[in-house]
Amino acid sequence: MNVKNLIDALELEVICGGEFAEQRQISGGYCGDLLSWVMSKAKEGDCWLTVMGNVNSVGVAVLADVACILLTENAAFDEDALARAKQNNVIVLRSSKDAFTLSAEIAKML
Amino acid sequence: MSQAIKLHYDVDGTDFTRAGEASGKIKKTLKDIGFPPESIRNTAIAVYEAEINLVIHAGGGEIDVEITPEYIEIVLTDHGPGIENVELAMQEGYSTAPAQVRALGFGAGMGLPNIKKYSDEMKIDTELGKGTVMTLKIFAK
């Protein structure tokens, strides 16, 4: 599954990086808001579900090579984070649903 | 690559948004010279955690890097308060980070444990009131 498939199936809002969505594959998922924890445990190609929308989240996404950041429950994504995400070609998505609901839906698609 | 590459970074202790710059640049340099991907990831995570620590706890510091075909060595130097109990600080979940740092998603007590996990060698020289020097080594493998 690529990120575009995910966006279409779950009707996600695309905050940035939509142009890379078709080429970026999703191989798994990870939920978490503690950045060190995520950095240590998330795998390359994961869809990362979080409410943490600051510039450090983007840093973690880049270092962990996740497929995309999926902000849950309409969490905010601040301007510094947006600038850093664009600079690093990070795909950032958003949904009004919570992490549990989204995870269940994504798990069915993998 | 016939000789060692040496890099130096100053970490600003006041700007949380810039933490991660050095690890990002080191990651790019390692990619450019063809360091093995797993060693690059391990290095990037270890250095990022260490950078965050410099900002949270030490008011900034300096990072010196030496890269050879066989390994990367990173020396992080700060003039912060020092680490009172290194053994305790190495435990997962132990944190002295303030609330505003936790609100940003850090301070989970995973920093030093992560650095240890992702480095092949880790050495901490710390003195209360003087500062800390942490030396990390990650082999190309």
- pLDDT given for residue A36 in this prediction: 86
pLDDT per residue as tens digits for the range A12-44: 999 999 999 999 999 999 999 999 889 888 999
Interface test with A, best of B41, B110, B118, B119 (most A CBs within 10 A): B110
Q: How far is A109 from chain B (nearest CA, A)?
A: 28
Query: What are the residue ranges spanned by the domains of chain B?
Result: 5-139
- DSSP structure class, residue B72: E
- Average pLDDT for B105-120: 92
Secondary structure of chain A: what % helix, strand, coil (to 5)?
Answer: 45, 20, 35
Nearest alpha-carbon partner for B75 in B31, B39, B110, B26: B26
- pLDDT given for residue A33 in this prediction: 95
Q: What is the mean pLDDT of chain B?
A: 92
CATH number of the domain bearing residue A7: 3.40.1390.20
Residue A82 domain boundaries: 3-109
Output the CA torsion sign for A28, A62, B2, B5. Answer: negative
Does the global pTM surpass 0.95? no
Number of H helices, E strands in chain B: 5, 5
Fold of B5-139: Heat Shock Protein 90 (3.30.565)
0.90 surpassed by complex ipTM: no
Cβ–Cβ gap A63/B19 under 8 Å? no
Round to whole Å and give the CA distance between B21 and B112. 19
Interface test with B, best of A31, A39, A54, A82 (most B CBs within 10 A): A39
Q: Residues 6 or more apart from A47 whose CB is under 8 A from it?
A: A3, A6, A26, A28, A29, A30, A66, A67, A68, A70, A106
Which residues of A fall within a CB distance of 8 Å from B116? none
Question: In total, how many domains does chain A have?
Answer: 1
Longest dimension (CA), chain A: 34
Q: Residues 6 or more apart from B3 whose CB is under 8 A from it?
A: none
Round to whole Å and give the CA distance between B73 and A44. 24
